[in-house]
Structure 1
Amino acid sequence: MRVIIVGCGRVGSLLAARLAAEGNDVRVVDRVARSRRLLPTGFPGRFHEGNGYSRTVLEAAGIEHADAFVAVAPGDNSNIVSARTAKETYRVPIVLARVHDPRRADLYGELGIPTIAGVRWTVHRVHQMLLHRHLTPELTFGNGETLLIRSQLPDYLAGRRLTEFGVDGEVHVVEVTRAGRSFVPAHNTPAEPGDLVTFAVAATSLGRLRGFLGKELGT
């Protein structure tokens, strides 16, 4: 996946390093050349100096072929302009933006741009939204280390015990909604077609849950 990250501060550099380490094609844009020092030694991605809302800079970074765009620069105004440019001009499929002033979150929402805030939480949340966008958390705890995820079970899992879907210390089934009625499953409760299941999952185990449900989620 090609990801363009505008802003190479604490959030941008941490996110870039994490995504690049996972084999993604990462392009970082920042108007201050020395900010590249925050990237790890041997960073395999590319760094582009310039404004994140400059079409010349964005095209040099390969935005026309980008799969995702993340605006995490220090200023809300620059983030919203660059995010809108990515979404409306270049039709990038996934566009996320960091918001520093929570009062502006509604503005981003009206534009269809999901927002995130806080350093550690931001890195976790952006990573989840980029790679696990079909698994939207209902609730997060701490700095995003533990999540509640609701998903309809694939039909091929019908008949298996719901407790079999857990992984010790990583994934746990905490609730099932069946035919509009919610209940906590017993040890031997079998899955049925159409079950909507709530999982408590460690953020680091989203990939495992995603793979488990992937046949139905199209991921």
Structure 2
Amino acid sequence: MRVIVAGCGRVGSALAVRLVHEGHDVRIIDRDPKTVRLLPPGFTGRVLHGNAYSRTLLDAAGTGRADAFVAVTSGDNTNIVSARTAKEVYRVPIVLARIYDPRRADIYRGLGITTIASVRWTVHQLHQMLLHRHLAPEVGFGNGETLLLRSQLPEYLTGRPLGELEVDGEIRVAEVTRGGRSFIPTRTTRADADDLVTFVVAAEALNRLRGFLDKELGT
């Protein structure tokens, strides 16, 4: 997977190092050449210096062929402009942006950009959202013990009963959106191509659901 990381601070550098160690193609963009000191010797990712929203720099980083773009600079304005450019101009499939001012979250969401609140999220969570992009929780209940999330089903599940994805006390299929229309399925309802499914899942069972949806996808 090719990932463009805008910002080589503590979060961006740590995420880049982790992805490189896993064999991903990582390109970092940062204004300050001194930030490379946060990268370990022998770092094999590519580092470019300049503004993360510069079209020239984004072209040089290969953003048009990127699988994901992560904006984690120290400025909200830079993050939103670069993330929006990646999504709208370069059509990058996965775009994540860090925010410092939570009041701006609605702006990002209105643009279809997933946001990461700097206080509440860690490098590990960014990593999970990149590699398990189908499973970003939308709502949490109580103290986060139960989650509501939506996922587009992988192709290999087409024709399979949705009940196969349920586990008593852990995972329930609550709703399906198919062809723009929503309905509540039964356990015998068979999955169709491009189904968008809403799950209610216990937080402790999230990895189990990931296993169902990531199987045979190589993620």
| TM-score interval, smaller chain | 0.7 to 0.9
Aligned match of 2:183:
none
Task: Give the C-alpha shift of residue 134 in structure 1.
Answer: 0.9
After TM superposition, the score normalised by the length of structure 2 is 0.72
Matches for 1:79-98 after TM superposition, within 5 Å: 79-98=79-98
Counterpart code for 1:80: I
Q: 2:165–2:209: 8 Å Cα contact kept in structure 1?
A: no
- Check the 8 A contact 2:72/2:79 in 1, yes or no: yes
The one-letter amino acid of 1:94's match is: I
Match of 2:182 in 1: none
* Aligned ranges 1:156-195 → 2 under 5 Å: 162=167, 173-176=169-172, 192-194=187-189
Give the 5 Å matches for 1:77-156. Answer: 77-118=77-118, 121-137=121-137, 138-139=139-140, 148=147, 155=160
Query: Kindly tell me: are residues 176 and 53 of structure 1, through their superposed partners in 2, closer, same or farther at Cα, counting changes over 3 Å?
Result: closer
Give the corresponding residue for 1:53: 53
Q: Does the alignment pair 1:198 with 2:201? A: yes
Offset of 1:14 from its aligned partner? 1.2
Q: How much has 1:217 moved relative to structure 2?
A: 8.4
Is contact 2:83–2:113 with CA below 8 Å preserved after alignment?
yes
- Give the whole-Å Cα distance in 2 for the aligned partners of 1:147 and 1:42: 42
**How many correspondences in the alignment?**
195
Paired amino acid for 2:60? A
Letter in structure 1 aligned against 2:172: V
SS at match of 1:201: helix
- The answer on whether the counterparts of 1:63 and 1:90 sit within 8 Å (CA) in structure 2 is yes
Question: What is the root-mean-square deviation of aligned Cα atoms in Å?
Answer: 3.7
What is the match of residue 166 of structure 1? none
List gaps (5 residues or longer) in structure 1.
164-172, 180-191
Letter in 2 for 1:126: L
Aligned partners of 2:6 and 2:28 also within 8 Å: yes
Query: Which runs of structure 1 show a deviation greater than 6 angstroms over 4 or more consecutive aligned residues?
Result: 216-219
Q: What TM-score do the two structures reach when normalised by structure 1? A: 0.72
Partner of 2:35: 35
Q: In structure 2, what is the Cα distance between the partners aligned to 1:160 and 1:77?
A: 41
C-alpha spacing 1:46/1:119, structure 2 compared with 1 (3 Å):
farther
Q: Is the 8 A contact 1:150 1:199 kept in 2?
A: no
Gaps of 5+ in 2: 176-186, 190-197
* Distance 1:214-1:54 versus aligned 2 partners, 3 A rule: same
The answer on 1:19 being equivalent to 2:19 is yes
C-alpha displacement at 1:76, in angstroms? 0.7
Letter in 2 for 1:115: T
